[in-house]
């Protein structure tokens, strides 16, 4: 099905990288462009970066929050602009942003189950040669038993593959020369753990 929407992906920390006063102008420019190209869909990734509670931040960030509120309120003049925001820090978002009429719906995307984690690993390593003695279920239960997102799993797998070929000392005893050996070393720590992912529509 073709919805014929103009799509804009916005990595919100990049907005804050602008000079003082420029971030608000850049945000306004984004919404103006969406208005010119409606129907359009704006996806704000890590929206908490520009929507953090004004009780928690300094004056400069308060201005960007106020600008975002202004832009959201003016959407009433553009009936065909859809806004989606993603965050894993829903608790720090300014309550005014979450008010009805701005973001009307909130969806929690849960962490993948162990079964889905195994499918993610298989998908991410589909073009790799895995050792026959590597048990993905054991790997998942041992190293991905905590709350991790698919992005976390992908990142750790990529780090492991890019680091080189390792020997999985616990369950495997041999390295096959013509196979990439996907392993997770005991000393690898997951430094990025997503607590919550909320989609606000």
Tens of pLDDT along the chain (201 residues) come to: 566 788 899 988 888 876 677 888 899 999 999 888 888 888 998 888 899 888 876 656 788 899 999 999 888 666 688 888 988 788 888 999 988 888 888 888 888 888 888 888 888 777 665 655 567 777 777 667 677 777 777 777 776 665 544 434 333 333 333 333 434 333 333 333 222 222 332
Q: Which residues, including other chains, have CB under 8 Å from residue 194's CB and lie 6 or more apart?
A: 88, 111, 147, 148, 149, 151, 152
Q: What is the pLDDT of residue 160?
A: 64
Q: What is the pLDDT of residue 190?
A: 34
Q: Which residues, including other chains, have CB under 8 Å from residue 179's CB and lie 6 or more apart?
A: 129, 130, 131
* Reported pTM: 0.62
For residues 153 and 4, what is the distance between their CA atoms, to the nearest angstrom?
33
Q: What is the pLDDT of residue 137?
A: 77
Query: Cα–Cα–Cα angle for 144, 146, 149, nearest 5°?
Result: 70
Alpha helices in 48-92, H assignment, sequence order = 48-51, 59-73
111-200: CATH topology is Helicase, Ruva Protein; domain 3 (1.10.8)
Helix axes 59-73, 22-36, angle to 10 degrees: 20
The pair phi, psi for residue 49, each rounded to 5°, is: -60, -30
For residues 165 and 185, what is the distance between their CA atoms, to the nearest angstrom?
11
For residues 184 and 167, what is the distance between their CA atoms, to the nearest angstrom?
9
Domain chopping of the chain, boundaries:
6-98, 111-200
6-98: CATH topology is Rossmann fold (3.40.50)
Tokens of 136: 């993905």
């Amino acid at each position: 099905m073709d919805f014929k929407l103009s799509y804009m992906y916005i990595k919100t920390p990049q907005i804050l990288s602008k000079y003082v006063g420029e971030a608000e102008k850049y945000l306004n420019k984004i919404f103006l462009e969406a208005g010119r190209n409606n129907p359009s869909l704006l996806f704000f990734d890590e929206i908490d970066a520009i929507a953090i509670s004004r009780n928690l931040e300094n004056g400069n960030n308060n201005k960007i929050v106020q600008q975002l509120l202004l832009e959201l309120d003016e959407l009433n003049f553009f009936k065909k602009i859809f806004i989606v925001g993603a965050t894993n820090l829903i608790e720090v978002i300014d309550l005014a942003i979450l008010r009805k009429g701005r973001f009307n719906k909130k969806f929690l995307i849960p962490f993948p189950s162990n079964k889905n984690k195994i499918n993610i690993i298989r998908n991410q390593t589909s073009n790799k040669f895995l050792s026959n003695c590597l048990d993905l279920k054991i790997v998942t239960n041992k190293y991905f038993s905590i709350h991790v997102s698919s992005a976390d799993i992908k990142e750790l797998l990529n780090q492991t593959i890019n680091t080189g070929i390792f020997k999985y000392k616990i369950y495997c005893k041999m390295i096959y020369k013509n196979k990439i050996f996907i392993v997770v070393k005991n000393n690898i720590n997951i430094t990025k753990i997503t607590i919550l992912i909320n989609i606000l529509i």
